[in-house]
Structure 1
Amino acid sequence: MIDAHIHLDWYRKEERETILKDLKDKRIAGLIAISSDLASCKKVLSLSQKNKLVFPALGWHPEQSLPDEKELAELEELIRKHHHSIVAIGEVGLPYYLKKERPTLDINPYIHILERFINLAKEYHLPIVLHAVYEDADIVCDLLEKHGHNKAHFHWFKGSGDTMKRMIKNQYRISVTPDCVYEKEIQRIIDIYPLEFTMVETDGPWQFHGPFENKRTHPVMMAESIKQIATIKKVSLPEVERKILENTKEFYQILLRGSSYLR
């Protein structure tokens, strides 16, 4: 399994070390380590340099106050400098939950920032990892189509059937979290979305309910997600395991070779 979306730098040091030690024994072939701001980008790069199964993605998470131009410029420069050694730009997107808390929030500056990242992803032929749920997903689809970049991964996607039809037509990828074991909404999405465009993730250290209540989020939890996908899709578990691993390696251009990788 490859965790298609984990905030590795958000874990406490001892938790992170446990996860990294567990990779081999728990059949975890890699972690797509997502960034949330400039400091996070630098930490994720450092973690990837120490462990070749940590695949870095650089970006700026939208569920926070706007960065100043200096931080954005430095972050963009970091992406340009390291574009050969990162696997994606992300996590980027629109502030859906922040907007729920602050209904008068002007999202136009967030849209402008997202367009900058889309253009960078297009320039360097990199996937883009998106925080875009419900109606925000439609805005992001508009932007991706406008700029002609379709290598898009909507992580922990939630949205309407019509939005999914549009995303499937454009061959955008989604990933599902362990909440698919107990959330009917996510089970509905799994049922609709093609297996060939699906990956699994933890979004760790985000914590889950159901059988994962009060447990530290660990990539091993993805095994339960894969079982749920196999049940919903009525496909054998080994085939779903194989296909999801293949999907993730192909999308992120990862060739696994022991403890090293080539893009």
Structure 2
Amino acid sequence: MEKMIDAHIHLDQYKEEAIKEIIENSPFLEALISVSFHLESCKKNLRLSKKYDKVKPAFGFHPEQPLPNENEIEKLVGWMNEHKDEMAAVGEVGLPYYFRSEQKVASYEIGRYLELLELFIKLAREWEKPIVLHAVYDDAPIACDLLEKHSIEKAHFHWFKGDSKTIERMISNGYFISVTPDVIYEYEIQQLVKAYPLERIMIETDGPWPFEGPFKGKMTHPAMMAESVKEMAKIKKIPVNDVFSQLLKNTKTFYYILNGVQ
């Protein structure tokens, strides 16, 4: 199997035996960008990165959960600042699209989610780190506004979904996206791949999130990305080996990974 990098995985959410299997029995896997959910998640991802060279940790606060209080934010940011030299990126951060659609976010809280996202964007700029974004549909243009406001160029929209106008804006700004295994069976994602320049695409699993189609009932594993690449090659009408090569190059360049070592 060709070399690959999983550009977005929650490795800390897997059981220890699964983590060991993924890392030690995947010779095709050059690196994993393991994003964090909150402070304890950050700490575990840092421990995993010290145990396994392939793990490149990103630190942040996932937006699809209740907001942290001021003390929790202060502790998280302080810890991130202390460990900024050990992080591959700020992430996963963004806006709570699904949490909001499930009516789990009060209207008065929306502004606080925006403030927290802007704080992380400012930190990414200050620390000169890439930023990993959870911003889909109506939230994506808002994220773009903040990125443009703070002149952020190294932005990675993971598992992106949005309208054509936003896609054009993101392409124009040079932002990256990453594609999950649902490109095999989701028309919306297939159309996104068709529209987006290959030079600005990465691949991911977002594991342990489960998938449907040929992956139904299976543990999400980075090996699944090979099927994503084959589908992308069909969509782009480019030789599959060329797609593997370009995706690897894209991710290494974006995350400053050299020969599997950050």
Instruction: Letter of the 1:13 partner, please give it.
Output: E
In 2, Cα distance between equivalents of 1:212 and 1:101 = 26
Structure 2 length normalisation: TM-score?
A: 0.96
User: For 1:18-63, what per-residue CA distance to the aligned partner results, in whole angstroms no more than 9, with x for missing partners?
Assistant: 1112222xx0111000000000000000000001100000000000
Q: Secondary structure at the match of 2:63?
A: coil
Please name the residue that 1:19 is paired with. Answer: 22
The separation in 2 between residues aligned to 1:98 and 1:22, in whole angstroms, is 35
Say whether the 8 Å CA contact 1:122–1:149 is kept in structure 2: yes
Q: CA deviation at 1:213?
A: 0.5
Instruction: Supply the distance in 1 between the matched residues of 2:165 and 2:115 (Cα, whole angstroms).
Output: 25
Distance in 2 (CA, whole Å) between partners of 1:215 and 1:95 is 27
Q: 2:5 matched to 1:2? A: yes
Say yes or no: does 1:234 pair with 2:237. yes
Question: How many pairs were matched up?
Answer: 257
Aligned to 1:90: 91
Unaligned runs of 5+ in 1: none
Residue 52 of structure 2 corresponds to residue 45 of structure 1: no
List aligned pairs for 1:67-216, cutoff 5 A.
Answer: 67-102=68-103, 104-105=106-107, 106-216=109-219
How far apart in 1 are the matches of 2:45 and 2:5?
17
C-alpha deviation, 1:104, in angstroms = 4.3
Deviation string, structure 1 residues 239-260 (Cα, Å, up to 9, x no partner): 1000000000000001125xxx
Provide the secondary structure at the position in 1 that maps to 2:19: helix
Partners of 2:16 and 2:115 in 1: how far apart?
34
> What does residue 33 of structure 1 align with?
34
Aligned-pair Cα RMSD in Å = 1.0
Instruction: Write the distance in 2 (CA, Å) between the matches of 1:46 and 1:211.
Output: 33
TM-score by length of 1: 0.96
Contact 1:23 1:30 in 2 (8 A): no
Secondary structure, counterpart of 2:93 in structure 1: strand
Residue segments in structure 2 that go unaligned for 5+ positions in a row: none
Whole-Å separation in 2 of the counterparts to 1:41 and 1:194: 32
2:224 aligned partner: 221
Q: Which residue identity is paired with 1:231? A: K
- More deviation in 174-183 or 143-152? 143-152
Q: Does 1:56 pair with 2:57?
A: yes
Structure 2 counterpart of 1:167, one-letter code: M
Partners of 1:72 and 1:221 in 2: CA distance: 35
SS in 2 for 1:256: coil
What does the per-residue CA deviation read over 1:51-82, in whole Å, with 9 as the maximum and x for residues that have no partner? Answer: 11000000000000010112211111122112
Query: Letter of the aligned partner of 1:8 in structure 2?
Result: L
